[in-house]
Structure 1
Amino acid sequence: MKKGKHVPNEVRKSFILWLIAIGAGVFEMIIAIITSLSEASEDGLVIQALIRTIIFALLTVVIISMYRGKRWARIALTVLLGGIGALSLLIDPIMWLIEGNPLSTIFEGVVLTSLLFAASRVVHLAAVIAALVFMFRPAANQYFRPA
């Protein structure tokens, strides 16, 4: 938190929403691990989980820095999670549609893990979008202005 500056509610809400997005990402990783283990497909599973865990930890540090009023952190979150991260959440459904799959088949072959994964993705994307909006509200903009 910036010395002498009160953290606006918009920044607090953004902070919580970013943490929800990270939590959804962790949940998705756990589902992917469970699915891989149940299919006996452990190709690089430990390495992937380790890399994702490190990334989630680093992003949490950036989120905390944003909460403390660091302008670089707000920019990093906008680019990394709001841009690249949001695109990574949307690329699979977009590719599925581009491949010519009709929307009427969206629920074919659905199992519990795929439903949980899809629900988590919706929560994840909604949290990212809302966090971005709150992070750039007027009170938040004032908070991130240089002293």
Structure 2
Amino acid sequence: MPHLVVPHTVRLAFALWMLAIATAILEVGTRLAVDPRGPLDAVLNSGAELTIRLSAFALLAVLATLMMRGSNIARHALTLLYGGLGTFSLIMEPASWLIGGGNVLAFATKADPVTWIITGSRIAHIAAVLGAVYFGYSGQAGAYFVHRRAKIAG
């Protein structure tokens, strides 16, 4: 059976998943770097959070790699875990703030550069995740995963 070429949309989805990891690391790193306790104390006092986040990043990288290799299960896991639950967790805080009467204009005028870095990385992260999910299912992606299943079964 001929070698299946990974479609452009699947490669793009993979790149966007990697971008999601990079933007998440930027957000966490920035937050830790400016912590009033100092970066070292912030890291030392964030052990559980960092362990969970690094584990989530590692799992995302593994699932994205498996997706690139044709795993439909990995593609669906990425969609449910990161595209669904992960995105929900990222939008809950700002949505609650808005519902509670948060003022976007006031926020924008008072935000310092660090806040803009954190906010921008969060927005870029969400966009990368949504893009990764979209491209993981668009174009030739569906046919690729069907052919990969057939190749494995055959």
TM-score above 0.5, yes or no: yes
How many Å apart are 1:50 and its aligned residue? 2.5
SS of the residue corresponding to residue 140 of structure 2 reads helix
Q: CA deviation at 1:35?
A: 3.0
Find the aligned partners of 2:143 and 2:63 in 1 and give their Cα distance: 19
Inter-partner Cα distance in structure 2 for 1:86 and 1:51 = 16
Instruction: Give the TM-score, by structure 1 length.
Output: 0.89
Percent identity over paired residues: 33
What's the counterpart of residue 8 of structure 1?
A: 7
If you compute each CA radius of gyration, which structure gives the higher value, 1 or 2? 2
Structure 1 segments unaligned to the other structure (5+ residues)? none
More helix, by proportion: 2
- Amino acid in the other structure paired with 2:3: G
Q: How many residues align?
A: 144
Q: Give the distance between the partners of 1:138 and 1:24, measured in 2 at CA.
A: 26
CA 1:39–1:115: 2 relative to 1, 3 Å: farther
Letter in 1 for 2:64: I
Greater Cα shift, 59-68 or 46-55? 46-55
Considering only aligned residues, what root-mean-square deviation do their CA atoms show, in Å?
Answer: 1.8
Q: Tell me: CA distance 1:17–1:79, structure 2 relative to 1, closer, same or farther (3 Å).
A: same
TM-score (norm 2): 0.85
Aligned position for 1:120 = 121
1:65-84 equivalent positions in 2, closer than 5 A: 65-84=66-85
Residue number in structure 1 paired with 2:50: 49
Counterpart contact for 2:17–2:60, Cα < 8 Å: no
